[in-house]
Chain A
Amino acid sequence: MLEALMKIFGKEKKSSREIARNRLKVVLVHDRASISPEVLDNMKDEIIKVVSKYVVINKNDMEISLANDDDSVALVANIPVSRMKHG
């Protein structure tokens, strides 16, 4: 019901203009930085080094990428933690 109402008022989904804007923002960050897989890998290794000082992580499942959040671009690192290190 609510969905039907939203449809009538044209708010049911993002406009293609907004989608284009967001996709462009992300792709241009990639293009401009021209982050090669190599650079991304190096960055990943260094992050692992730092984070491993404090927590035990599952290196193989770690993911690092650029993503867009509505209006901004973020470097997103997904680091599965196995357990905290003590002392």
Chain B
Amino acid sequence: MSEVIVITSGKGGVGKTTTTANLGVGLAMRDKRVVLVDTDTGLRNLDLLLGLENRIMYDLIDVTEGRVPYKKALVRHKKYETLFLLPTSQVKDKSAVNPEQLVKLCDELRKEFDYILIDCPAGIEQGFQTAIAGADCAIVVTMPEISAVRDADKIIGELNRADKDSIKLIVNRIRPQMVEKGDMLDMDDINDILSIDCIGQVPDDEKVVTSTNRGEPVIAMNDSLAGQAYRNIVGRICGEKIPFMDFPKDTFFTRLKRVFGIQ
């Protein structure tokens, strides 16, 4: 049985594409057949995060407009052989695809794949409506920041309106030391405010930046906290019960280390 999951947020830049790339790699590491569909037409990035930018021949619009069958537009990942990307066009805009076309595409993809992850554009306009159209469930990514949480609430309302009732939350870019000092909302606060089940909390991690530079999602790095967080989320998506991770505390020794520039 396959699942179509849309990764969305409302607010821009909170980590939708990063999440899509990491969950895709993580599911493929478990030998699931996965396709990632970039619906951020005009602002495509998912190809870069996966290191596949030089291998694109056709795109989503070629498929929805019937120029090529979807299989011709899929780009297979070099390392993870069950992972595919369906890139979008960098020159067209959001009006180039409509919700009906995406529903039809998702139904075709279901025949071949276990997971279909859709990277949604920011906002609540047409691009969003198209991205969610074919989805069975949604992952809403937010950040511990009031404007991002407010936008997440708005998106949850829009998802409900579209009868998408299976919604999970990821809180991205948590800074444990700020939470500890009482200067940042934590996952429980946001959970409480939005009343949506959390499926993960991802710390702010420099390794996300370096791994993005390389085009190799951080989930494959064993020594990264964010990578561990993403692996946990993948486990939960696969139905495992995994407790939420404790972030390392800001202790006297970690402060001392910082002062002396270790770490």
Interface residues of A (CB under 8 A from B): 15-18, 20-21, 23-25, 27-28, 31-32
A17 with B184: CB separation less than 8 A: yes
B153 contacts A by Cβ under 8 Å = yes
Q: How far is the CB of A15 from chain B (nearest CB, A)?
A: 3
Query: Smallest CB-CB separation from B145: which chain A residue?
Result: A20
Known: A15-B183, A16-B182, A21-B185. A32 touches B157 (CB 8 A): yes
Known: A23-B146, A24-B193, A25-B193. A17 touches B153 (CB 8 A): no
Known: A16-B184, A17-B185. 20 other contacts (CB 8 A): A15-B182, A15-B183, A16-B182, A17-B179, A17-B182, A17-B184, A17-B186, A17-B189, A20-B146, A20-B185, A20-B189, A24-B146, A24-B150, A24-B193, A25-B193, A27-B150, A28-B193, A31-B150, A31-B153, A31-B154
The 10 sampled A-B contact pairs (Cβ below 8 Å) are A15-B182, A17-B185, A17-B189, A21-B189, A23-B146, A24-B146, A24-B150, A31-B154, A32-B153, A32-B157
A16 with B183: CB separation less than 8 A: yes
Interface residues of B (CB under 8 A from A): 146, 149-150, 153-154, 157, 179, 181-186, 189, 193
Give the complex CA separation of A17 and B146 in angstroms.
10
Q: How far is the CB of B6 from chain A (nearest CB, A)?
A: 22
Give the complex CA separation of A18 and B183 in angstroms.
8
A18 with B146: CB separation less than 8 A: no
* Cross-chain contact of B182 among A18, A24, A27, A32 (Cβ < 8 A): A18
In the complex, which of the residues A21, A23, A27, A32 has the most CB atoms of chain B within 10 Å of its own CB atom?
A: A21
B150 with A28: CB separation less than 8 A: yes
